[in-house]
Amino acid sequence: MTGGPPPSECVIALDVGGTGMKGALLDRGSGVLAAERRPTPRADGPEAVVDAIVAALASLAGRARELGLAVRRAGVVVPGIVDADRALAVYSANIGWRGLPLGRILRERTGLPVTLGHDVRAGALAEVRLGAARGAQDALFVAIGTGISAAIVHDGRLLSAGGYAGELGHVVVEPDGLPCPCGGSGCLETIASAAGIARCYTAHSGRPVEGAAEVAARLAGGEAAARAVWRRAVEGLATALTTAVTLLAPEVVVLGGGLAESDGLLLEPLRECLEERLTFQRRPRLTAAVLGDEAGCLGAGLHAWDAETPVRTVPGTLRPPA
């Protein structure tokens, strides 16, 4: 009979983005025991991305063995439309997946029990459990990056709707607006995503920029063209959020992504614009996310622990999907 305590337990958490992957070993309290980052090789095709995910999981499992940690489960979150119940990557424009049984593939190739989830819903889970919306039973998490997506928490549950819920970026805010890659026109993403703001600025001013951060810097410097493009983005966001608030009545709206961290350039004018539009609706608290780009990875870990040992429902604790 061998002596000594059993090895400590952990889960592997992996957030797969369009440009990079963030992975970690997390304990039951979401403490980070080890972490690593690597690029997402999407230019090499969807099969290469799957290979990279498998390699990342294998690397983290190896780190766990070195630390004497027993891996209970892996939580992997990806962009696009994700049917978590079927562990299916339904569609991802960024990576090129269509109807991919990603959960099963990862289980077969790694030998690990794998929980598949959506990156933005994972970010919302982390912000409600650990961050800016902690304790809220009704919340809206909006991730503003290259695109715009949202996650809805209603009565303490994440709303998935087969993976299709939360596509705030494709709410039409300008009916005669710019064409969107989704096939529609005037979608919020065309004017208020980081990529949309950069494109609109270039079209408005005739001066190309590398991204929205450059537009924000010019706005801070008082440039009129930057001010006009930024105002258009704020008004588009306010229009979409007014619709969401009217339908969902969240207690809190959490904005994530780089633009939400732009020193009040987005949050304050958006708060004012939204306040002007709301009449009878419950007025949500509008705040920036506090977990930054770690939210998706932390949420992946929370999903994994929930699947392994489902949380008991208590006030202020987000329940896992039924």
Determine, yes or no, domain membership for 236.
yes
pLDDT surpasses 80 at 5:
no
Answer yes or no: do 81 and 148 share one domain: no
| Torsion angle defined by CA atoms of residues 153, 154, 158 and 161, in that order, rounded to the nearest 10 degrees | -120
Quote the number of domains for the chain: 2
Determine, yes or no, domain membership for 87.
yes
Please name which of 23, 10, 122, 30 lies closest in space to residue 77, comparing C-alpha atoms: 122
309 or 159, greater pLDDT = 159
CATH number of 14's domain: 3.30.420.40
Query: What are the pLDDT digits (tens) for 31-40?
Result: 999 999 999 9
Answer yes or no: do 250 and 114 share one domain: no
Answer yes or no: do 222 and 257 share one domain: yes
- Residue 159 structural domain: 135-290
Indicate whether this model's pTM tops 0.95: no
Please name which of 152, 121, 135 lies closest in space to residue 299, comparing C-alpha atoms: 121
Please name which of 65, 117, 66, 119 lies closest in space to residue 88, comparing C-alpha atoms: 117
By percentage, how much of the chain surpasses pLDDT 90? 75
Answer yes or no: do 142 and 75 share one domain: no
Structure tokens at 231: 């105002």
Q: What's the mean pLDDT in 76-85?
A: 92
Query: What are the pLDDT digits (tens) for 205-217?
Result: 999 998 898 999 9
C-alpha to C-alpha distance for 248 and 261, rounded to whole angstroms: 25
| Collapsed DSSP state (helix, strand, coil) of residue 249 | coil
Determine, yes or no, domain membership for 1.
no
pLDDT surpasses 60 at 93:
yes
Q: What is the pLDDT of residue 315?
A: 37
Q: Chain-wide mean pLDDT for the chain? A: 90
pLDDT surpasses 70 at 48:
yes
Determine, yes or no, domain membership for 322.
no
pLDDT surpasses 80 at 21:
yes
CB 12 within 8 A of CB 53: no
CB 253 within 8 A of CB 245: yes
321 or 194, greater pLDDT = 194
Determine, yes or no, domain membership for 315.
no
Please name which of 318, 292, 322, 302 lies closest in space to residue 156, comparing C-alpha atoms: 318
pLDDT surpasses 70 at 270:
yes
Answer yes or no: do 155 and 256 share one domain: yes
Strand ranges, E, within 119-214: 139-144, 148-154, 157-159
Q: What's the mean pLDDT in 269-282?
A: 95
Query: How many CB atoms sit inside 10 A of residue 59's CB?
Result: 15
- Band of residue 42 on the pLDDT scale cut at 50, 70, 90: confident
Query: How many CB atoms sit inside 10 A of residue 126's CB?
Result: 31
